[in-house]
Amino acid sequence: MLSLQHLSKSFGTMKAVDDVDFELHHGEILGLIGQNGAGKTTTFRMILNFIEPDQGTISWNDAPFTQSKYDQLGYLPEERGLFPKMTVENQIIYFAELRGMKRAEIRQEIPKWLSRFEVKAKATDKIKDLSKGNAQKVQLIATLIHHPKLVILDEPFSGLDPVNVSLLRDGIMDLKKQGAAIIYSDHNMDNVEQVSDQLVMLRSGKMVLHGPVAEVRQSFGRIKLYLESALTKEQLLAVPGVIAVAQQQRHFEITLADEAVGRRIFDLATANGYIPEFNQQPPTLEEIFKLKAGEPNA
Amino acid sequence: MHKFRTVFRQVYLKNLRSGAFIWMVLAPIVIAVVGGLVGYFIFKSQENTKMAIVTSQTELRATLKQVKVSDLTIKKAITTTTAAQKALSQEKIDGYAEVTIVKNNLHVNYVSRTDGQSLPVTELNAQFTQLNLQFQAQRLKMSATQLATLLQPVQTKQKSVSFKDGKQVSRNDNQRAVNVMLATATAVIMMMFIMSYAGMIASEVASEKGTRIMEIILSSVDVKTQFLGKICGIFALIITQLLIYGVLFIGGRSLVNQIIAKQYPQIKALLGSLQLPSIWSTQILMTVAFFIVGILTYTILAAMLGSLVSAVEQVQQVIMPITLFALLAYFIGLMAANGTDSVLVKTSAYIPLIAPVVMPVRLATEAAGTSEAVISLLISAGLMVLLYFAALALYRANVLVYSDGNVWQSMRHSFNILTNRKRKN
């Protein structure tokens, strides 16, 4: 289990991370979200021992995360880096050897991984001759080939096309099945929603959201209403508790002040019987993200 | 150990196969071979001066045949002034000497073409003077003994001396020239290698940092192992390079001895007259030791400086201070090679970073002895060890600090990190 307790870190007068506190169990995936500069990478770097927290502690399986545990770690940095002149095989071998794997073992594994991630390159091709997507997959293989127990992925999906995104998603799910604790950052809320067991949102270094994805959404109540009926925009706006109405042809996307307003609109809309659509939902993660990011700092 | 080996092998093999290393190994050989070939062709293309010695007095002809000057071909077939003039006009000879007897004395009239090679008049005059003496002795009917006494040249002896470890050692002028040459070559090669290896490691560190590979590496292996692996990888490259030269030196020497010396006995004679240091001599061993300590010290510094920058493009800028230091060492080395024995040269032979260039030069010119070299080497090696730990501490603080500002800002930032760490510990 990875445990971060009351972690804080300042650079000069800027508080990069402020009292971050969460736990991540084996076989669990945590999505770390937040705007650029919210403190995601600093949090990762503290877990990785690159920088020391000013306050708080980090533990891995109830002990400090030290160099002796590096072999259990898989880390994909935000900015990808490979040696351009190396071959795919040598590159993977180098990184995997640094994680304590044996050469022969790595050689055996490489073809499996290349085909699993559908890398369109031979093991003997040079990195510089690969497309960006393929190079990124090679980097991922190098991150995961040693079956790490703790995986830290800094924006793993950025720059991947939808096909590769689903390949990577499958890869992450497999790791989860094998019992790895996975923490990753992302700007795509759809990914976060589909992959994560829990999420943490940082704003200016502080945790503003934390918990299982569904719970976080539910905590905002069913304040989103998707409606198709005979009602007009004006009629809808006249209902007390309706904050905003967006219209797309006959469809309305209505933001409510609270869940109860939905019942009032349902009664109005169904006064004459059948309507094709009434769908009351909690806000999407993306909407919550925008909402939280836009809030003034507490 | 497994991880150290991985880093070590990576640094060693990657650079061993790089164009930069191959060129670094070949450069001195190429320069030596090209220099040798140019010298050889200049030597070959210089034909002997050709001349004729003619006389109208047939009784002189036998005597004149004794004239012999090195690098001068005397065309014996040309015996008359007319024939000589004709040969001169056809550029078959560069000039001729017409010998006559005027008032019982030999009289020599030199004629040479302005566009031909100049006649060795001084040597010829000496020979003609001797012939004149012989001619006079015959005319005065002197005995052979009297003649021998008369012809006896002044007895002279020449000797240059130098002092090695307080003992006087005989040297000839050629030896001095060779020493200066060896010393200059030592300074040039040292400078070249220091800059190459320093540039190599600084780029290596900067590119790993710039491409963020450093983050992956440092989340796999602790920074001390990585730093040591890199330095040892470079050390292995230096040893490889020296071994290549060692093999070439031994092979080349037997080649010279067996082939060249047979065909060109004069080269063998020249080599024999010189004292070239043998491969296991103290001088060579000390030079190699300085070579290793010098390059490693600069390598350690360069690795530290390379860790300051965020992109490989900034490497040249950041290693400027050590480039300047190496240049300073180089110039003082050249001064020492040319025999300057000033306080500056003497002192700097003990200053780390400069000593590895200057001391071997002073050894080569025999301005310093083994004991002085050993002291200087110990000082340099001591500083190298201290620098290693200082560089490691800074490297640890630097490698993950990315700054868009200049190098000094990065350095300040690193120092802050370092002092924070110290405070915490």
- pLDDT, tens digit, 9 for 90 and up, residues B238-275: 889 889 988 888 887 777 777 766 666 666 666 666 66
The torsion angles phi and psi of B222, rounded to 5 degrees, stand at: -75, 155
- Contact check, Cβ <8 Å, B216/A142: yes
ipTM score of complex: 0.82
Task: Give the range with max mean pLDDT: A48-52, B332-336, B383-387, B417-421.
Answer: B383-387
Does B358 share its domain with B214?
A: yes
Does B145 share its domain with B83?
A: yes
Kindly list the residues from chain A whose CB atom is less than 8 angstroms away from the CB atom of residue B211.
79, 81-83
pLDDT, tens digit, for every residue of B123-160? 888 888 888 888 888 788 877 787 778 777 777 776 65
Alpha helices by DSSP H, B256-369: 261-263, 265-273, 282-306, 315-318, 320-337, 343-348, 355-364
Which residue from B minimizes the CA distance to A52? B421
Fill in the DSSP letter of residue A205.
T
pLDDT the model gives residue A159: 80
Does B124 share its domain with B184?
A: no
Which fold, A2-218?
Answer: Rossmann fold (3.40.50)
Range with the poorest average pLDDT among A1-15, A18-32, B195-209, B395-409: B395-409
pLDDT the model gives residue B102: 83
B6–A contact, CB cutoff 8 A: yes
Residue bearing the bigger pLDDT, A80 or A241 = A241
8 A C-beta contact, residue B92 and residue B101: no
Range with the poorest average pLDDT among A205-214, B113-122, B340-349, B401-410: B401-410
Range with the poorest average pLDDT among A51-65, A172-186, A217-231, B397-411: B397-411
Our CA-based measurement puts residue A100 at a distance from the nearest CA of chain B, in whole angstroms, of 7
B211–A contact, CB cutoff 8 A: yes
**Chain B 222-281, CB below 8 Å of chain A: which residues?**
222
Answer yes or no: is B332 within a domain: yes
For residue B115, give its domain range: 49-149
Choose the mutation target among B4, B219, B412 for the interface with A, i.e. most A CBs under 10 Å: B219
A62–B contact, CB cutoff 8 A: no
Answer yes or no: is B23 within a domain: no
Answer yes or no: is B3 within a domain: no
User: Can you give the length of chain A in residues?
Assistant: 298
The domain total for chain B is 2
DSSP string for residues in B178-198: HHHHHHHHHHHHHHHHHHHHH
Kindly list the residues from chain A whose CB atom is less than 8 angstroms away from the CB atom of residue B222.
67, 70
pLDDT the model gives residue B410: 67
Choose the mutation target among A54, A67, A69, A71 for the interface with B, i.e. most B CBs under 10 Å: A67
Where along chain A do its domains lie? 2-218, 224-281
Answer yes or no: is B419 within a domain: yes
Answer yes or no: is B91 within a domain: yes
pLDDT the model gives residue A266: 93
Tell whether the model's pLDDT for residue A65 goes beyond 70.
yes
Residue bearing the bigger pLDDT, B409 or B386 = B386
- Pairwise CA distance, residues A137 & B222, whole Å: 26
Supply the CATH number for residue B102's domain.
Answer: 3.40.190
A51–B contact, CB cutoff 8 A: yes
A52–B contact, CB cutoff 8 A: yes
Kindly list the residues from chain A whose CB atom is less than 8 angstroms away from the CB atom of residue B424.
52
The share of chain A scoring above pLDDT 70, in percent, equals 99
Q: Read off the pLDDT band of B236 (50, 70, 90).
A: very high
A94–B contact, CB cutoff 8 A: yes
Our CA-based measurement puts residue B214 at a distance from the nearest CA of chain A, in whole angstroms, of 8
8 A C-beta contact, residue B344 and residue B332: yes
Tell whether the model's pLDDT for residue B212 goes beyond 60.
yes
Average pLDDT over residues B6-33: 87
Q: Read off the pLDDT band of B425 (50, 70, 90).
A: very low
Tell whether the model's pLDDT for residue A202 goes beyond 70.
yes
Tell whether the model's pLDDT for residue B401 goes beyond 80.
no
Chain centre distance of CA B199: 23
Does B178 share its domain with B250?
A: yes
Answer yes or no: is B128 within a domain: yes
pLDDT the model gives residue B260: 66
- Contact check, Cβ <8 Å, A81/B14: no
- Contact check, Cβ <8 Å, A98/B7: yes
Considering only CB atoms, A77 lies closest to which of B2, B208, B212, namely B212
Answer yes or no: is B213 within a domain: yes
Considering only CB atoms, A81 lies closest to which of B213, B421, B424, namely B213
Answer yes or no: is B366 within a domain: yes
pLDDT, tens digit, for every residue of A154-194? 988 888 888 888 888 888 999 999 999 999 998 888 888 88
- Pairwise CA distance, residues B234 & B198, whole Å: 10
Considering only CB atoms, A79 lies closest to which of B2, B212, B421, namely B212
Does B305 share its domain with B342?
A: yes
- Pairwise CA distance, residues B292 & B277, whole Å: 19
Considering only CB atoms, A70 lies closest to which of B211, B213, B221, namely B221
Fill in the DSSP letter of residue B258.
I
